Amino acid sequence: MDPRLEVATPERVSVSLPIAGVGSRSIAHLIDLGLLFAGLLVLYFLASLVIPDMLDAFEGLSGVERAVGGLIGFAAIWGYWTGMELAWRGQTVGKRLMRIRVVKSDGSPIGVFESAVRNLVRIVDFLPTCYPIGLISMLIDPRHRRLGDLAAGTMLVREEKIDLARYASSAQSRLSPQDVEVLTGFLARFDALEPQAQLKLGAQLVARHGGQVAANDPAAIRAWLQQHLKGG
């Protein structure tokens, strides 16, 4: 069975999101690498218009200049993943095409810190080449997280079309979170209350929410509150 992430929305609706597997993550990564490679080719072509012999120019660079160039290249790659994830709420081009998204461990959107850390640790996941460390980590971890995800407290989930129709009645009730807590708590303790308390407190709650039921019928009171809680 695929691992899933349970997320509670502000409306107290529990949504289950499937966690992205190694396959979809790998394909998304290859798509992003293809875009980065295409961008590198464009830059090389533009630079060749100014510097005819690029190979001789590179060999003429000092060790410090090559190191600076390498840092600039890494910053550009790191900036692509981090910038895209922040701009597209946890997605890059590859992730969007594969319908997967980076989120925090609690399902909330990632921030600057999480995206920056997970993409910085990408260096370790890549070692010694082609992401063997990251792949091993994803295969071992139950939630398919690489080291960057573990360090940043993130994971990737697959986006699914959620049928919100079954939540429509709850949304229509327009109950505040406090009202939901009160009604849920009262109904949970209903059977443990004395009959007089059931009638008195239940009638008060029904009246508060604009309902009308027989004040001497605890079963009717409970049924009305349950229906009201569901949005009926």
List pLDDT tens digits, range 221-232.
888 888 888 765
Mean pLDDT taken over the chain: 85
Closest to 175 in 3D by CA, of 13, 8, 4, 6: 13
User: If DSSP codes are grouped into helix, strand and coil, which group holds residue 12?
Assistant: coil
Q: pLDDT at position 2, please?
A: 67
- Report, as an integer, the average pLDDT of 138-159: 94
Q: Among the listed ranges 10-14, 31-35, 158-162, which one has the minimum average pLDDT value?
A: 10-14
Q: Give how far Cα 153 sits from Cα of 99, 113, 114, 115, 157, Å.
A: 20, 10, 7, 10, 13
More confident: 29 or 63: 29
pLDDT average, residue stretch 86-111: 92
From 8, 2, 1, select the one nearest 106 (Cα to Cα). 8
Instruction: Calculate what percentage of the chain has a pLDDT beyond 70.
Output: 88
**In terms of pLDDT, which residue wins out, 28 or 198?**
28
Are 103 and 155 spatial neighbours (Cβ–Cβ below 8 Å)?
yes
Determine how many CB atoms are found less than 10 A away from the CB of residue 155.
25
Q: Which has the higher per-residue pLDDT, 26 or 62?
A: 26
Give 24's pLDDT tier (boundaries 50, 70, 90).
Answer: very high
Rg of the chain's alpha carbons, rounded to an integer?
27
pTM, 2 dp = 0.66
pLDDT greater than 80 at residue 120: yes
Residue 104 has pLDDT above 70, yes or no: yes
Confidence (pLDDT) at 166 = 46
Burial class of residue 194 in the structure, from the number of CB atoms within 10 Å of its CB (0-12 exposed, 13-18 middle, 19+ buried): exposed
Gap between the Cα atoms of 132 and 87, Å rounded: 28
Over residues 101-121, the mean pLDDT reads 93
pLDDT: is 190 or 79 the higher one? 79
Separation CA 115–CA 32 (nearest Å): 16
Whether the Cβ atoms of residue 134 and residue 164 lie closer than 8 Å to each other? no
79 vs 10, residue with greater confidence? 79
